[in-house]
Structure formats: structure tokens, C-alpha cells
Structure 1
Amino acid sequence: MNHKVLPNVTVVDHPLIQHKLTIMRDKETSIAGFRRLLREIAHLLCYEVTRDLELEMIPIETPMQQMEAPTIKGKKLVFASILRAGNGLLEGMLDLVPAARVAHIGIYRDHETLQPVEYYFKAPSNLEDRLVIVVDPMLATANSATAAIDKLKERGANKIRFLCLLAAPEGVERFTHAHPDVPIFTAAIDDHLNDKGYIVPGLGDAGDRMYGTK
């Protein structure tokens, strides 16, 4: 159910995701409902972003007999959450991959300059040996996402994917220009950014709607 919009972008247009996204966009949806839906969508997006993970065969014993069975190959995945809104996707991802390592990247957007300001970075070691999936609900200006991936690459990450709920065309273009080697997975590409750097029609500020802040 995927279709490629740009060479680097996969829009995951599964009906369940689109249905849940519509409810999230509705301004009348409660904080609890928004949070629950984001977690549910994260399950479905995680399924897509990990679709091509490499497998290897290992010997196990079922109640019936011994067999060779597939398991995910290589070191544990890393989920890198761009704080704070990324944590809404992170929780759903960890439901599916509870053994994943987690990185937290604290970046906020200066509302005057729209530029990213980093305040926290904590990641597992040996990033060069792991697939790193960066999560943030919105790819708007792409400044925060670009800065987060700059930082991960500085720490050795070389196999990175970016997962978001909504993207703006401007953000996709800027991100792809900065990191052409990092594929984007999103539930929708919206129309445009407004002059405050918000996605339109969008769903407002994901962090505020998730945590009930303004």
C-alpha cells in the first residue's frame, strides 16, 4: 500500500493509518485520544520502516521438533527520539521492538529565527554498527531533523532512516538536500508551511496536543 512520491520518500498510505490520522487532525480530539492514536500509528509506521530488515536462521526447538527459524540479524536497532514530541512515536515503536536501544536528542525551534537549538544528546555506543531510526511527528522546516541527523552522523551513525507522521514539501526538500542518504517514511505530505513554520493543514503543534501544553 505504499507509493513513492520522491525517490527518497515513502508515504505509508495504509487505510488504518489514514483513518487514524484524520481523527488526530480534528481539533476536537482529546489529549488522551491524540496520544493513543499517535502510539497506534507508530505501530503501523514501525512495521513499514522495518519491513526490509535482514534476517538470519537460528536453531530452535518447538514443542514438536527442532528447526531453523528466522531472527533479525545484527546488533539491536536504535530509535532516536527528537524531544519532546518524538517520544509519542517512540513509545509505539518500543511496543513492537522492546529490545531496541534508545537515543534522545533535545532540540527546540527558536520561534523567532525558526532555527534549531540543541540542549540534550544521549545515544548508545557503536552507532556505526546499528540501524538508527529517527522519530519526530512533524517534518516542517526540517531544521531540527537535519540538526539531529548531523549530530548522529558525528557520533558514527551511517545507516539512518527518518520516520514522521506529517511532512511539508519544503521540509522534505530541505532534508533531502542536507541528507540525501537518509530515506523518509511519513503518513502524509501536506500542502505547505505557513509563515510561522507550521504545517498546513497539519494538526497543530504535536507536542502541545500530546501533552496538553501551550
Structure 2
Amino acid sequence: MMDHLTVVDHPLVQHKLTLMRRTDTSTGEFRRLLREISQLLAYEVTRELPMEMRQIDTPMQKMDAPMLAGRKLALVSILRAGNGLLDGMLELIPSARVGFVGLYRDEETLEPVQYYFKVPPEMDERLVIAVDPMLATGNSSAAAIDLLKESGAKNILFLCLLAAPEGVARMKEAHPDVPIVTASLDERLNEKGYIMPGLGDAGDRMFGTK
């Protein structure tokens, strides 16, 4: 286990991930599983959120009770596949602010190309969770984190469904201060930069495209 990488080995996470990997899992079922697994991963990635005590009224009496402290966290989807993780997490954390980073991977160079960037204000005061199902080469993920840091973000976590060792190493090299949380560290990348054994292209499987 690498110190900057957390693999969530909860039985429900692993079971749902296995179903998502299967070739015969339909587009609708894939989306549903991704939404469910994102909520389970959200529990892990929000474990260290700051808390504060506030006085509330219960039906019985007043009490001091724990609530989330500070500014609302920011969830940043790395388009387009990141939206699958984003949707499930927003069901769990509906008050979160939301940002989007549009990057696509040049199929020849495997390098990221930016086409969109929009994030909430006061990024320096928020926990920022960047979400993308696949950490493959790590080039797009590292580029997205570059943009988030340029916007002022200082406290960043990266959440993905699958990671390849090459992508984890690339992220550690580029952003050693950004912890990675994933459901699986897979074996390797193939010659086209896809995660093996993986689950194919997450965006295509989510949206039924090729």
C-alpha cells in the first residue's frame, strides 16, 4: 500500500465494482451501480471533514451537537465521465458546491487537452474533491489538479473508481500533496493507455456511446 493512496476494500464497494466490470452489464445498470458506489466512496473521502458544535433543539431539550464546519466543500467533476461519480455524491452531500474541468485525451499523444473550466469561488477555503472514474496515465488528472491549484485550491483530494500504477505514480510525482482514494488499484495500462483489466471506457459505458 502506498502512503498517498487509499484503496476502499469495503465488501459492498468491491461487489458493485465487479458487477460494473462485467461486459454484460447494461448502460442503465452501469449508471446505477456507479451512483451507488460513488456514495459509498464518498463516506471514505469525507471522513476527515472538520466539525463544530452547535446548539440545537431536540423534541426533548436543547443540546450541543456536531455539524460540518467551514465553507461547503467543492466537488469538481473531470468531464465527462466524472459526472457519474458527481451525481451520486451530490445525493449524499446536496449542499456541496460544484465545479467542472473539461479535458479530453489526445488519442495519439495521450496528453490532455482543456476545453472547459468553471469552479466555485473561495477555492482556497474549501476542501476540494476532484472526481474521475479512471486514473489511467494520470496526465489528465494531473492537468486538472494544476488548474484547480491555479484557481486557489489548497486542500485537494482525488477520487476515482479504478487506478493504474502508472497513473498513481504520475500523480504522486506531479502532486504529492493530493491523496488518492480509489476502489481498486488495477494491474497496468495497455499500449493504448487503457486500464487493465479495467472495465472499458467509463464514459462510453455510462452514456452508451462508442
Query: What letter matches 1:157 in structure 2?
Result: A
The 2-side partners of 1:136 and 1:206 are apart by: 9
The 2-side partners of 1:198 and 1:51 are apart by: 30
Q: Does 1:183 align with 2:208?
A: no
Could you say what secondary structure the match of 2:129 adopts? strand
Equivalent in the alignment of 1:78: 74
- List gaps (5 residues or longer) in structure 2: none
Q: Shift in Å at residue 68 of structure 1?
A: 0.5
Residues 91-139 of structure 1, C-alpha deviation per residue, up to 9 Å, x if partnerless? 0000110000000000000101100000000000110000000000000
Q: Does 1:54 align with 2:53?
A: no
Alignment of 1:152-167 (within 5 A): 152-167=148-163
- List gaps (5 residues or longer) in structure 1: none
Query: What letter matches 1:212 in structure 2?
Result: G
Equivalent in the alignment of 1:205: 201
The 1-side partners of 2:189 and 2:93 are apart by: 33
The 2-side partners of 1:183 and 1:202 are apart by: 21
Equivalent in the alignment of 2:139: 143
Alignment of 1:123-142 (within 5 A): 123-142=119-138
Q: Shift in Å at residue 9 of structure 1?
A: 0.3
**Among 188, 191, 195, which residue is 1:192 paired with?**
188
**Among 159, 162, 168, which residue is 2:164 paired with?**
168
Could you say what secondary structure the match of 1:70 adopts? strand
Q: Shift in Å at residue 52 of structure 1?
A: 1.3
Q: Does 1:8 align with 2:8?
A: no
Query: What letter matches 2:83 in structure 1?
Result: N
The 1-side partners of 2:145 and 2:167 are apart by: 14
Alignment of 1:22-37 (within 5 A): 22-37=18-33
Query: What letter matches 1:173 in structure 2?
Result: A
After TM superposition, the runs of 4+ consecutive aligned structure 1 residues lying more than 2 A away are none
Could you say what secondary structure the match of 2:153 adopts? coil
Residue-pair matches, total: 210
The 1-side partners of 2:143 and 2:23 are apart by: 30
Query: What letter matches 2:162 in structure 1?
Result: L
Could you say what secondary structure the match of 2:47 adopts? coil
The 1-side partners of 2:132 and 2:23 are apart by: 20
Residues 4-57 of structure 1, C-alpha deviation per residue, up to 9 Å, x if partnerless? x10100000000000000000001000000000000000000000001111100
**Among 93, 118, 121, which residue is 2:117 paired with?**
121
The 2-side partners of 1:134 and 1:211 are apart by: 20
